[in-house]
Structure 1
Amino acid sequence: MDRLIQNYLIDLFADNGIALEADEDWLLTEGEDFPAIRGIWHEDKEGGMGRLDIDIVLDEERTIEESFGGIGKGKEGCRDALDSFARNDFHVVLAACWHTVNGRKLGVRELVAGGQRFTAYIGDFTLRGEKDAPMEIPEDGLSALEAAIATAPLTGDVHWIRVFYGNVGDGKNQVEVLLDNEPWAAGHKAIASVDWPQHERYYSLRNFIALLPAD
């Protein structure tokens, strides 16, 4: 499975103008130690959804840690999880870590947080499940999160935010918002306050944002 993951990532980056080469488990840009990326697939022993962990090392002290569920067994599930990474995080990661920005695939704007200016690379909210239902992202979905970012005590480093919203049905939901891999209460409150579309069947929305100190 490691070969499948590495080949997928090499091709994905190559399609966007970045050449990566393998160094044991990691993929690196030639001549550079950072950033480095790897993927690890975990098959569910009970036949449920497997999990793909993506690690992106920014420097000797900081690593972006993301996980994606994969529907299917073996290679099928792993490819499904890799496709989720490509749809959701990839273009944000490409911009923030490899400095290659595709303006058609993400939003770019300036934000102020903790008295510092940041360039925000904002991915789309990606939908999983409930594919037959029309899905419009509420206008305040992103603005509520930006308001929380503005009050966050951020340092002058790279920061990243992952948002997950799951509609369980019967008015119930799941919300998880991470800032730099850790649960973020203010972000959770912001996302939970939004009037997300309600459906009888399960669906989830996921979003990834990177913040880089502005020059």
Structure 2
Amino acid sequence: MLEISQNENLASLLQHHGVGVHRDEEFVYTDLPRKTKFKTRIVYREERQAVNSQLDILAIPQQGEHIYESFGDVGTTLEDAVARNFQNFSRGSLHPLLAMSGSQDPHTLQQVETEEWKIGDTTWKAYLGSLTPKTNSKNSVSPPKEFFQRIESGIRSQTLANRLHWFRSYYAQFNDQITISEFLMDNQPVNESGTLFLSLPTLPDTDFYSCRNFIILQKTDS
């Protein structure tokens, strides 16, 4: 696997979302209220007629949490694959990260659902990223409503001890069977990670379908 930095592309993406940035050799620094800084890399391998790549994003708010996200894709060239990686990041995790960091950019805030969740004795501000599907179906298909219901149920069943937690949920359907299920809290799989979404209703007449979601919870007094 080969590896390259993509901090320059990330800085440009942040600027398009109204964020002031400056860079050094390691990080992209922002003028967001929580002073979140970012670091990126692309790892990739060249195959016969395609490039398989993965974008890794590290976001560090001022109080020091290390939030990792990864996005894999395939392109005809490295530039094509990287563009797909950033498109996936932009559709999924970027807006919750910016909203949590205090962004007031109207376009950014339109892409995030912000709710108050009471879990136990604690009130949390929940930054809900969009459900981001992928499919090779020619028809328009939507994830079953049970997908988000199980995400919320899975989050509410966790022990939430920190001021900030983040969750990545993903499942994939091949033909009429769900074969991949992932549920991470703070970059780590939780106990039901491998089974939480395996019994979701499958979508008919679909060779491949996947859906992903990213959520950040922040204590309201933080």
For structure 2, the 5+ residue unaligned runs are none
Counterpart among 35, 41, 50 of residue 53 in structure 2: 50
Q: In the alignment, is residue 174 of structure 1 matched against residue 180 of structure 2? A: yes
Residue 10 (structure 1) aligns with: 11
Q: SS of the residue aligned with 1:8?
A: helix
Q: SS of the residue aligned with 1:44?
A: strand
- Tell me the amino acid that sits aligned with residue 88 of structure 2: S
Superposed, 1:1-215 pairs within 5 Å as 2=5, 5-29=6-30, 34-46=35-47, 48-58=51-61, 62-72=65-75, 73-100=77-104, 102-186=108-192, 188-215=194-221
TM-score normalised per structure 2:
0.84
Q: SS of the residue aligned with 1:71?
A: strand
User: Given the superposition, is the C-alpha separation of residues 118 and 158 from structure 1 closer, same or farther in structure 2, using an over 3 Å criterion?
Assistant: same
Q: Distance in 2 between matches of 1:199 and 1:185?
A: 32
Q: SS of the residue aligned with 2:110?
A: coil
Identity of aligned residues (%): 23
User: Given the superposition, is the C-alpha separation of residues 76 and 40 from structure 1 closer, same or farther in structure 2, using an over 3 Å criterion?
Assistant: same
Per-residue CA shift, 1:6-60, capped at 9, x if unaligned? Answer: 3322222122221111121210025999421111011115455211111112357
- Tell me the amino acid that sits aligned with residue 29 of structure 1: T
Cα displacement (A) at 1:154: 0.2
**Structure 1 stretches of at least 4 aligned residues deviating more than 6 Å after TM superposition:** none
- Tell me the amino acid that sits aligned with residue 145 of structure 1: I
CA contact (8 A) 2:169 2:183 kept: yes
- After alignment, is 189-198 or 158-167 more displaced? 189-198
User: Given the superposition, is the C-alpha separation of residues 187 and 145 from structure 1 closer, same or farther in structure 2, using an over 3 Å criterion?
Assistant: farther
CA contact (8 A) 1:116 1:156 kept: no
CA contact (8 A) 1:114 1:155 kept: no
Cα displacement (A) at 1:162: 0.5
Cα displacement (A) at 1:192: 3.0
Q: SS of the residue aligned with 1:185?
A: coil
Per-residue CA shift, 1:166-206, capped at 9, x if unaligned? Answer: 11224242111111000023465443343242444122111
User: Given the superposition, is the C-alpha separation of residues 33 and 153 from structure 1 closer, same or farther in structure 2, using an over 3 Å criterion?
Assistant: closer
- Tell me the amino acid that sits aligned with residue 37 of structure 2: A
Q: Pairwise CA RMSD of aligned residues?
A: 2.5
